[in-house]
Structures are given as structure tokens and as C-alpha cells.
């Protein structure tokens, strides 16, 4: 991960820690050797957030997570996976790339297969800078908008 991605990752983790205090939030949580960008753990719940900035194959990372979840390596009554896609996966003609469609397909099938799994694709409405480029203005506002979607889903799911 580049410096910008790490800053956003930490910003999301810190914001979730402040707003959803019944979970222990951390970055780079390991699931069978696969790091997950941001994770919130509570008694019987696990909330995983994967940040997809420019990954060539975003379906691969989540497929690994789902494979580990299916094997029973994680014990939780509820596992919520958010896959956050930047505008890197948006097409100039409208719509989303086949890479994002494939990742969402994997997530949807996993959620249909595993009873305790909920999958949500989420938009991060910004094209992330390439390594070494300057950070986009207003990235915190974009991160806050993304966080509102995640917090809304978590709040509605857990009530």
C-alpha cells in the first residue's frame, strides 16, 4: 500500500473506532496469512473492510478471505464484508469494470453460500493517486461519505 492508501485506511479505522465503540477496530488484521485492511471485532461479530484502490484483480483478495471464512477458521455469528471500490474501477462510458463486477459476483455468491456472511460493495468516489502523486483535495470528505454508508449498513444490520 502507498502512503495515501495507508492514510485513508487509518482514517477509516480511527473513525469507526470513534463511532462504533462496541467493536475493537484495527488495520492489517491477518486471516490465515491474508491481511484485511480494516477489521472490527466484537463478541460474536466480525466486520471486514477491504479497500480496493488499483488492484489488478480485486476478486482474488476477497475470494481468499471467503475461502478462509468457509473453512471455519474464524468463529463469529455474523461476518460482514465491505469491499470498497474507488473510481479506478469506473468506466468512462459509465458503469463499472468487469474486474469490479467479478469481485462483486464472488462476494454475492459467498454471501448466498455462507449463512453468517453478509457482503456489501461500497463506492469510494475518488480516483486514488498513483504512488508519488499528490493527494486529492477533499479526500477526508470522500472517506466520510464512504464511512456513512458503512456505518448505516452496520447500524441497520445490528439493530
Residue scoring higher pLDDT (59 or 65): 59
pLDDT tens readout for residues 32-61:
888 899 999 988 899 999 999 988 889 987
C-alpha span between 16 and 44 (Å, rounded): 18
Region 17-29: mean pLDDT is 93
Region 5-18: mean pLDDT is 96
Q: Copy the grid coordinates of residue 13.
A: 479505522
Q: Where are the domains of the chain?
A: 3-152
Lay out the sheet containing 45-52: strands in order across.
24-31, 34-41, 45-52, 78-86, 117-124
pLDDT tens readout for residues 133-156:
889 899 999 999 999 999 999 888
Cβ contacts of 145-148, under 8 Å, gap ≥ 24? 146/12, 146/84, 146/122, 147/12, 147/15, 147/16, 147/19
pLDDT tens readout for residues 75-126:
778 899 999 999 999 998 889 999 999 999 999 999 998 888 899 999 999 9
Topology given in CATH for the domain delimited by 3-152: Trna Endonuclease; Chain: A, domain 1 (3.40.1350)
Burial of residue 95 (number of CB atoms within 10 Å: 0-12, 13-18, 19+): exposed
Four-CA torsion 138, 141, 142, 145, nearest 10 degrees: -170
> What's the confidence (pLDDT) of residue 100?
94
102-125 b/e (C-beta count within 10 Å ≥ 16 → b): ebbebbeebbeeeebbbbbbbbbe
Q: How confident is the model at residue 132 (pLDDT cuts 50, 70, 90)?
A: confident
Amino acid at each position: 500500500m502507498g502512503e495515501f492508501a495507508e492514510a485513508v485506511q487509518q482514517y477509516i479505522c480511527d473513525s469507526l473506532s470513534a463511532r462504533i465503540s462496541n467493536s475493537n477496530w484495527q488495520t492489517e488484521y491477518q486471516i490465515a496469512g491474508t491481511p484485511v485492511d480494516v477489521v472490527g471485532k466484537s463478541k460474536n461479530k466480525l466486520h471486514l473492510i477491504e479497500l480496493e484502490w488499483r488492484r489488478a484483480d480485486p476478486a482474488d483478495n476477497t475470494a481468499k478471505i471467503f475461502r478462509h471464512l468457509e473453512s471455519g477458521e474464524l468463529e463469529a455469528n455474523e461476518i460482514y464484508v465491505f469491499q470498497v471500490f474507488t473510481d479506478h474501477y469506473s468506466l468512462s462510458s459509465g458503469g463499472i469494470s468487469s474486474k469490479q463486477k467479478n469481485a462483486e459476483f464472488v462476494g454475492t455468491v459467498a454471501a448466498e453460500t455462507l449463512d453468517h456472511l453478509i457482503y456489501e460493495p461500497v463506492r469510494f468516489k475518488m480516483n486514488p493517486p498513483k504512488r508519488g502523486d499528490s493527494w486529492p483535495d477533499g479526500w477526508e470528505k470522500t472517506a466520510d461519505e464512504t464511512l456513512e454508508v458503512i456505518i448505516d449498513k452496520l447500524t441497520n444490520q445490528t439493530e
